[in-house]
């Protein structure tokens, strides 16, 4: 976060406005098909750029109103229908639609998780951003920050990615228990240490090799831990990098392969 996002915000708003007009102009669509169209397009349109651009609170309220209008048109309801109908849970007579705030909240946390996972520069930048906001608000960890962010305004929280994510969870009424830079995580381990652990444990890793999905184990390290020798179940061997993109073979790094094989071991 954050670049000049005026054009992207306009693109999202125009897309939602156009989508709101579509069911009205095509009344031959059934309500079911209109809802399916809304479901397949609205959330991805917002989630794609939501985590990396700033939405001023005033514009976000406009976005939310347009979002609700899309659902009203899909249900063929009056424009004066109460918004509460879409927000309330189904057991209270509502439709329980996932609103823009919840969509951006989910997308932002996924984005931050991805930034913290791989040692490719974004992790270092994310850690600086994280430590800056902890220091600024006098917090010890993410849970403290979520409590503190509850008392910030939307525009104040938007100045930092982690603060904004915590503000969203607090205002929605949920808590995320996460330690993004725990030293015991795979992302925090040195490449050489990670390779040595895989050699000692011989845990197989799932990897795409020669147009097939295969399991392979780490046999040895080479070039001071920059490369590892891998062996498949069939005895075939190949090399894999522990850092940097492999532009020749297209193989992921060892760290990426581990996290794809065992996604819970972040």
Please give the pLDDT value at position 107: 94
Residue limits of CATH 2.30.30 in the chain: 187-261
Looking at the chain, list the stretches that DSSP marks H as alpha helix, in order from N- to C-terminal side.
6-25, 31-49, 57-74, 84-87, 100-117, 122-137, 142-149, 154-157, 161-172, 191-201, 254-261
List the 205-209 sheet strands across, edge first: 205-209, 212-222, 227-232, 237-241
What angle separates helix 31-49 from helix 6-25, to the nearest 10 degrees? 180
Instruction: Give exposure, 184-211, as e/b (b: 16+ Cβ within 10 Å).
Output: eebbbbebeebbbebbeeeebbebebee
Please give the pLDDT value at position 20: 84
Whether domain 187-261 has CATH 2.60.120: the reply is no
Please give the pLDDT value at position 264: 61
- Residues with pLDDT less than 50, the chain: 1
Q: How far apart are CA 251 and CA 48, in angstroms?
A: 26
pTM score, whole prediction: 0.75
Contact 23, 29 (CB under 8 A): yes
């Amino acid at each position: 976060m954050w670049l000049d996002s005026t054009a992207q915000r306009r693109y999202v708003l125009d897309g939602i406005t156009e989508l709101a007009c579509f069911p009205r102009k095509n009344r031959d669509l059934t309500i079911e098909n209109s809802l399916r169209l809304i479901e397949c397009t609205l959330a991805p349109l917002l989630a794609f750029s939501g985590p990396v651009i700033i939405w001023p609170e005033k514009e976000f309220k406009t976005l939310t109103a347009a979002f609700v209008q899309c659902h009203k048109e899909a249900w063929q309801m009056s424009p004066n229908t109460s918004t509460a109908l879409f927000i309330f849970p189904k057991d209270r007579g509502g439709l329980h639609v996932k609103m823009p705030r919840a969509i951006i909240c989910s997308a932002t946390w996924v984005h931050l998780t991805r930034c913290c996972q791989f040692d490719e520069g974004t992790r270092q930048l994310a850690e600086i951003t994280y430590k800056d906001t902890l220091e600024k608000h006098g917090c010890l960890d993410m849970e403290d920050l979520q409590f503190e962010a509850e008392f910030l305004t939307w525009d104040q929280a938007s100045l930092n990615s982690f603060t904004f994510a915590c503000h969203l969870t607090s205002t929605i009424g949920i808590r995320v228990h996460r330690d993004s830079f725990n030293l015991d995580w795979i992302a925090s381990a040195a490449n050489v240490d990670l390779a040595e652990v895989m050699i000692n444990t011989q845990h197989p890793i799932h990897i795409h090799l020669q147009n097939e999905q295969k399991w392979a184990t780490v046999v040895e390290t080479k070039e001071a831990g920059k490369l590892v020798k891998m062996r498949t179940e069939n005895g075939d061997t190949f090399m894999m990098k522990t850092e940097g993109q492999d532009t020749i073979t297209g193989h992921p790094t060892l760290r990426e392969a581990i996290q794809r094989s065992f996604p819970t071991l972040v």
